[in-house]
């Protein structure tokens, strides 16, 4: 690595590996030599701005300060954390948390379309981030898979690259008379020159859902003109994999922003899907041309391992009779192309900055960089995938549930009592039941026994704690018993995976029973330990293995 590539910024941040380069600059992995942590540093380039160096808004610190201010106002677990803004040698740099994982675009490129359940999990996280931003008057304006990071160790979804974000009431950092964004994901009203609003981000969110499910944007074409025509007035063709979410996607891809689903409505529909596995028919107003579903290409077959089985949605969603249309005449695509042609070099950036440019896989933009999840790390908290409303055909007998709790038989066959209103989620190794804000999390894992038993397994997890849990401290493993069986108790405190989470405490019991090894744990903020211990005792006492 050259001396230039390891240069020290502002006497504190040493640039290491380049993580990627987009339309607004380069993102580096860097060492914060003052605090001894890894961070992501976004280097903003004047030559990359619309109009070139002379027209750059980055010739002063005002523009990056606006960007940092816009993002810093949004405190949410699924929004990237901004630590600092510095100027070095006349260039501004934004210092952010480092997320150890690739983007959703890289995930799609490597492994193909995302399953419906996982798309719903990602979607709920992004809707939470967008709602938090919109409530503060912050618009993202470039929502796309390349700007969604997936933390490898936890599955945490992080919305990043607010590089063209707009703070209501102030000038956007790219407002220099040129259009900046990603055309395949840009709302038609923005293509027509109208002012962006929260509804514009929701259109982009709908396109992102289609891209995750089908492998690419439904507006992808071979030319910029083709893309613009597809966005503004052509028939919208949904991927076949989007059928389970059809009412939601149609509502988001409503060309009239006044009729488009808002974030609250979209979240309600997504939560309905993850709770029931299907969506009811909904009055969604059709675009000037109809939406049709296209067969999935052979290499984009739906993922066969869905955690939620979706029932087919209705073949069509009719508009309600008598509802007046409120849509201005659409601009011809050729006129939009002409308007965008004035953006010069910026237009080329738009076409290549969607995960197919120079971004490198790997860490992308957390105060820590935990390695891939270890076998026993019971702390990840993916977003909900099934609401606790009723139990499937039981594989274990329902346990008694005290007041304020619900006895559930999990789809994986075990049973336990969880607090009323807790929501089920899962990843490939763990099952979670969480409260509405995901602050208190009950976790369960079932696996094959290991040679050194529960105690050895817990001791290994304790030894790995500083690597898997940021700020790990006060870890203690104690031999114990559970229902007369050999068991181990592991407790520890840690920082959480983001500043928004804050300090947390985890209680975990592991034991062997009937040829399987079980983990039951609760993780909660340190200020809610009494509640956490009550939930832990109830979950553990009521836990019934399959059969």
pLDDT (0 to 100) of residue 401? 83
Helix (H, G, I), strand (E, B) or coil at 509: strand
Helix (H, G, I), strand (E, B) or coil at 504: strand
- How far apart, in whole angstroms, are the C-alpha atoms of residue 111 and residue 176? 38
> Which CATH number is associated with domain 404-542?
3.40.1000.10
Strand arrangement, sheet containing 91-97: 8-9, 13-22, 25-32, 37-44, 91-97, 82-88
Residue 73's nearest CA partner among 82, 86, 64 is: 82
Give per-residue pLDDT as tens, 136-148. Answer: 888 888 899 999 9
DSSP notation for 428-490: SS-EEEE-TTS-SEEEEEEE---TTHHHHHHHHHHHHHHHHSTT-EEEEEEEEEETTEEEEEE
| Chain centroid, CA 22 distance in Å | 20
Structure tokens at 519: 């983990």
Q: Which residue has the higher pLDDT, 472 or 499?
A: 472
DSSP notation for 309-328: PPPPPPS--PPPTTPPP--P
Residues 6+ apart with CB under 8 A from 227: 183, 184, 219, 220, 221
Give per-residue pLDDT as tens, 284-318. Answer: 443 333 344 443 333 333 332 223 323 333 333 33
pLDDT higher than 70, residue 455: yes
Give per-residue pLDDT as tens, 139-182. Answer: 888 899 999 999 998 999 999 887 555 544 443 333 333 445 68
Lowest mean pLDDT among 229-238, 368-377, 492-501: 368-377
DSSP state of 308: S
Q: Of 3.20.20.70, 1.10.540.10, 1.10.510.10, 1.10.340.30, which CATH number belongs to 104-320+329-352?
A: 1.10.510.10
Given a contact cutoff of 8 angstroms between Cβ atoms, the answer to whether 159 and 78 are in contact is: yes
pLDDT (0 to 100) of residue 224? 80
- How far apart, in whole angstroms, are the C-alpha atoms of residue 283 and residue 199? 18
Structure tokens at 271: 């939560």
Domain boundaries, the chain: 8-97, 104-320+329-352, 404-542
Give per-residue pLDDT as tens, 346-356. Answer: 333 333 344 44
Given a contact cutoff of 8 angstroms between Cβ atoms, the answer to whether 127 and 266 are in contact is: yes
pLDDT (0 to 100) of residue 534? 93
Question: What is the pTM for the complete model shown?
Answer: 0.54
Residue the block writes with tokens 């089908």: 214
Give per-residue pLDDT as tens, 28-84. Answer: 999 999 999 999 998 876 544 433 433 344 445 565 566 666 677 788 899 998 888
| pLDDT mean across residues, the chain | 75
Q: Which residue has the higher pLDDT, 382 or 227?
A: 227
- How far apart, in whole angstroms, are the C-alpha atoms of residue 349 and residue 183? 11
- How far apart, in whole angstroms, are the C-alpha atoms of residue 463 and residue 469? 11
CB count in 10 Å sphere of residue 503: 13
Structure tokens at 439: 């602050």
- How far apart, in whole angstroms, are the C-alpha atoms of residue 81 and residue 95? 9
pLDDT (0 to 100) of residue 245? 96
DSSP state of 513: E
- How far apart, in whole angstroms, are the C-alpha atoms of residue 86 and residue 162? 17
Residue 232's nearest CA partner among 339, 100, 89 is: 339
- How far apart, in whole angstroms, are the C-alpha atoms of residue 476 and residue 462? 7
Say which CATH class 8-97 falls into.
alpha beta
Lowest mean pLDDT among 265-274, 384-393, 504-513, 537-546: 384-393
Helix (H, G, I), strand (E, B) or coil at 132: helix
Please give the average per-residue pLDDT across 267-280, as a whole number.
89
Q: How many helices (H) and strands (E) does the chain have?
A: 12, 22
Give per-residue pLDDT as tens, 32-42. Answer: 999 999 999 98
Please give the average per-residue pLDDT across 532-536, as a whole number.
93
Task: Please state the three-class secondary structure of 202-261 as a single string.
Answer: HHHHHHHHHHHHHCCCCCCCCCHHHHHHHHHCCCEEEEHHHHHHHHHHHHHCCCCCCCCC
């Amino acid at each position: 690595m050259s001396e230039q590539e390891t240069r020290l910024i502002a006497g504190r941040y040493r640039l290491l590996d380049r993580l990627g380069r987009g339309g607004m600059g380069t993102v580096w992995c860097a060492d914060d030599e003052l605090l001894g942590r890894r961070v992501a540093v976004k280097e903003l380039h004047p030559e990359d701005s619309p109009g070139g160096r002379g027209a750059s808004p980055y010739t002063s610190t005002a523009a990056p300060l606006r960007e940092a201010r816009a993002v810093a106002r949004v405190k949410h677990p699924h929004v990237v954390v901004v630590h600092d803004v510095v100027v070095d040698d006349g260039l501004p740099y934004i210092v952010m948390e480092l997320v150890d994982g690739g983007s959703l675009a890289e995930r799609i490129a490597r492994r193909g379309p995302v399953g419906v359940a996982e798309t719903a999990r990602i979607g709920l996280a992004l809707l939470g981030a967008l709602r938090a931003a919109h409530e503060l008057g912050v618009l993202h304006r470039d929502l796309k898979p390349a700007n969604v990071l997936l933390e490898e160790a936890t599955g945490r979804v992080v919305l990043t690259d607010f590089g063209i974000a707009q703070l209501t009431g102030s000038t956007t950092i790219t407002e220099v008379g040129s259009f900046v964004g990603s055309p395949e994901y840009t709302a038609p009203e923005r293509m027509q020159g109208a002012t962006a609003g929260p509804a514009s981000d929701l259109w982009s969110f709908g396109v992102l859902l289609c891209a995750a499910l089908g492998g690419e944007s439904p507006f992808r074409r071979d030319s910029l003109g083709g893309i613009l025509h597809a966005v503004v007035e052509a028939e919208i063709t949904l991927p076949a994999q989007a059928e389970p979410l059809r009412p939601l996607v149609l509502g988001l891809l409503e060309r009239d922003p006044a009729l488009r689903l808002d974030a609250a409505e979209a979240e309600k529909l997504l939560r309905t899907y993850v709770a029931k596995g299907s969506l009811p028919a909904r009055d969604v107003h059709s675009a000037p041309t109809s939406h049709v579903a296209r067969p999935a290409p052979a290499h984009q077959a739906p993922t066969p391992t869905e955690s939620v089985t979706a029932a087919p949605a209705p073949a069509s969603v009719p508009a309600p009779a008598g509802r007046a249309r409120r849509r201005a005449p659409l601009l011809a695509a050729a006129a939009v192309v002409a308007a965008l042609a004035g953006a010069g070099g910026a237009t080329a950036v738009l076409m290549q900055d969607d995960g197919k440019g120079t971004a490198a896989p790997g860490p992308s933009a957390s105060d820590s960089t935990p390695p891939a999840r270890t076998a026993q790390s019971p702390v990840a908290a993916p977003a909900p995938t099934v609401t606790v409303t009723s139990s499937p055909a039981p594989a274990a007998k329902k346990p008694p549930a005290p007041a304020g709790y619900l006895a559930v038989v999990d789809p994986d066959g075990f049973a336990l009592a969880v607090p009323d209103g807790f929501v089920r989620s899962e990843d490939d190794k763990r099952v979670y039941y969480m409260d509405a804000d995901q602050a208190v999390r009950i976790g369960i894992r079932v696996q094959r026994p290991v040679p050194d038993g529960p105690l050895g397994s817990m001791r290994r997890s304790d030894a790995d704690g500083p690597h898997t849990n940021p700020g790990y401290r006060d870890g203690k493993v104690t031999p114990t018993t559970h229902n007369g069986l050999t068991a181990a108790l592991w407790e520890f405190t840690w920082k959480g995976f983001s500043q928004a989470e804050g300090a947390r405490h985890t209680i975990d019991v592991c034991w062997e029973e009937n040829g399987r090894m079980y983990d039951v744990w609760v993780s909660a903020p340190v200020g809610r330990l009494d509640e956490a211990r009550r939930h832990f005792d109830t979950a553990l006492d009521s836990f019934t293995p399959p059969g």
